[in-house]
Structure 1
Amino acid sequence: MNRFREMEVFLAVAQAGSLAAAARAVGLSTATVMRTLATLEARLNATLLLRGARGTDLSPAGMLFAASCRQILEGVEQAERSATGQHARPAGQLTLSAPLLMSHQVFTPVVLDYLAAYPEVSIATETREDLPRLVEDGIDVALVVGHLPDSSGFAVAVGAVAPIVCAAPAYLQQWGRPLSPDDLAAHQTIATSSTGHVVEWRFRGEHGVRLIRPAPRLNCTTQQAAIRAAIAGLGLVRCMSHEVHHELQTGLLVPVLSDFALPSLPAHLIYREGRRAAARTRTFIDFSAPLLRAHPALQQA
């Protein structure tokens, strides 16, 4: 088996997480996949996969090798498209990621419009709150919120979102509107946190960031559940503005303590390879960036 095919087999195992699933994906027997991996590890003198009862995981060396294999195989695919004149016509699969509620409120309509405009492209989406590793995670374009490290690749600014505290009008009618963070002690709050973690809400104070630790009436594992509880009138919730854009627009929720909000956080589309990116990636950036900038959920600086 040549080295190109070995990389394809290894990458299939890395993505599938099991030898049997990878074998089905590449049309080989499980025994052949195992022999291929053994030959590859012997030639490289490195352990690429950690095998366990629940499947396979990448070793540190395997993670680096998988990223390199993905780049090489994508480069070969791009070269073949270029040789056949396909480089100018967007086609193939595009993998996108965005935070869950950003996807619901903002991103999905843009994705659907892009698919309508480029019928030869298919899209796979995933939701994640952390900053993705584009190469290692196999993501072409990610919509991310927050300040970017220098290693995040190419980035296009599309706006900003702000931290916000809000509640249902019925709750505010019953409990009153808090006028300062100190008033939160007399209010019911809804929080999102992992078990055992102290809830902390941050506000702009006279001498910098002010930390408030409310005692939540309800503690949820997801922001979506906390927002739904706030809509039902249970109490105040702290979230990001894009996460409740629809609810604010329709009056289901009302913002409070706006004078004490921390500065907004930037939102970016990040991608890899710049001008060398595949046509589907470049066209998605060019298509989606203006639409995102025009979306009312994303503030403009």
Structure 2
Amino acid sequence: MDRLEAMSLFVAAVEAGSLSAAGRRFGIPLATVSRKVSDLERHLKTRLLNRSTRQLTLTDAGHAYLAACHRILDEVGEAERTAAGEYSAPTGELIITAPIVFGRLHVLPVVTGFLAAYPDVAIRLMLADRIAQLTEEHIDLAVRIGELPDSSLVATRIGSIRRVVCASPAYLAEHGTPETPNDLAAHNCVTFEGLTAPAAWTFAAGKSDLTVPIRSRLRVNTAEAAIDAAIAGVGLTRVLSYQITAAVRSGTLRAVLQAFEPQPWPVSLVHAGQGLLPLKLRAFLDFAAPRLKKRLLQATW
């Protein structure tokens, strides 16, 4: 029995919530995963998992063994990275995650430049509008937009972005331009589920917040769709400033209520930062941070 493989499958099953999900992660059949985990339990002479048709739960022994597996697998991975030279020269694969639109507009161009400068490093760029778990998902670096909770993660701030209300000039000409947040009650709005609640928007009013109800005529689940709808004249929408730079500069969208915008959100590069950083990560941080700062400064109007 390959105990390291069995440990990896056991950890993956717990993290993913099922044996089948662990199999998909490793590209092996469910029956193989089940057999290897069962072999591990027989070897240990104890049950690690309680299996049901709906979920997996850890036994008391499983909880203790999971912690040990994390420690052992991390140490093995560290030894392999050292042996492969990742601490003496930038080499190997770097896994990075970023929000979809920000990643496409700003991270991807920086990644392509980095790949040209560091031919021995490969990058897996995962774009998703969700908060990925760096340790559990084996991610080296994340681009995070918004205030960061206290944690053991290390963050490098690269700029900030605004939350902007905007509409097409044609819509504003027909319906009027809102002068205060309370004017939104008379307007059609396009809401984006990933950024704000569909029923109300919050603004800055002096040193306090002002939350106003809005009338959502169209509710979408991507920023691109909200922006396209606003350009088409459906109504006002609220998105992040970098997402509409080109549209504002071209005149197809106009920002409103700028005096009432909330505090800008920080943009950060976040990594686990435990122990000595692999040179591939250190090299990317040194390469990407100043370039992303410059791009964010340029993504204004």
For Structure 1 versus Structure 2, the TM-score category normalised by the shorter chain is 0.7 to 0.9
What is the CA–CA distance in structure 2 between the aligned matches of 1:299 and 1:100, rounded to whole Å? Answer: 16
**Which residue number corresponds to residue 282 of structure 2?**
282
**Which residue number corresponds to residue 262 of structure 1?**
262
Confirm or deny: 8 A CA contact 2:198 2:216 kept in the other structure: no
Report the count of equivalent residues. Answer: 290
AA in 1 matched with 2:286: D
Deviation at 1:253? 1.5
The secondary structure found in structure 1 opposite 2:135 is helix
1:75 has 2:65 as partner: no
Structure 1: segments with no counterpart, 5+ residues: none
**Which residue number corresponds to residue 150 of structure 2?**
150
Deviation at 1:231? 1.3
Counting aligned pairs with the same residue, the percent is 30
**Which residue number corresponds to residue 272 of structure 2?**
272
Deviation at 1:158? 0.5
| TM-score normalised by length of structure 2 | 0.82
The secondary structure found in structure 1 opposite 2:216 is coil
The secondary structure found in structure 1 opposite 2:266 is strand
Deviation at 1:138? 1.4
What is the CA–CA distance in structure 1 between the aligned matches of 2:297 and 2:226, rounded to whole Å? Answer: 19
Range with bigger deviation, 170-179 or 271-280: 271-280
**Which residue number corresponds to residue 178 of structure 1?**
178
**Which residue number corresponds to residue 295 of structure 1?**
295
**Which residue number corresponds to residue 47 of structure 1?**
48
1:199 has 2:202 as partner: no
RMSD across aligned positions (CA): 3.2
Relative to structure 1, is the Cα distance of residues 152 and 50 closer, same or farther in structure 2, using a 3 angstrom cutoff?
A: farther
**Which residue number corresponds to residue 109 of structure 2?**
109
The secondary structure found in structure 2 opposite 1:185 is helix
Confirm or deny: 8 A CA contact 2:96 2:126 kept in the other structure: yes
Confirm or deny: 8 A CA contact 1:167 1:253 kept in the other structure: yes
After superposing on structure 2, the runs of 4+ consecutive aligned residues of structure 1 that deviate more than 6 Å are none
* 1:35-80 deviations in Å (ceiling 9; x for gaps): 4312334528453585648xx8685948756754652342122121
Structure 2: segments with no counterpart, 5+ residues: none
The secondary structure found in structure 2 opposite 1:282 is helix
What is the CA–CA distance in structure 1 between the aligned matches of 2:248 and 2:7, rounded to whole Å? Answer: 50
Deviation at 1:221? 2.4
What is the CA–CA distance in structure 1 between the aligned matches of 2:115 and 2:147, rounded to whole Å? Answer: 29
What is the CA–CA distance in structure 2 between the aligned matches of 1:17 and 1:278, rounded to whole Å? Answer: 32
**Which residue number corresponds to residue 6 of structure 2?**
6
Confirm or deny: 8 A CA contact 1:93 1:122 kept in the other structure: yes
**Which residue number corresponds to residue 223 of structure 1?**
223
**Which residue number corresponds to residue 126 of structure 1?**
126
Deviation at 1:93? 1.5
* 1:146-194 deviations in Å (ceiling 9; x for gaps): 1112215111110111111011122222222111112112222111239
Confirm or deny: 8 A CA contact 2:11 2:66 kept in the other structure: no
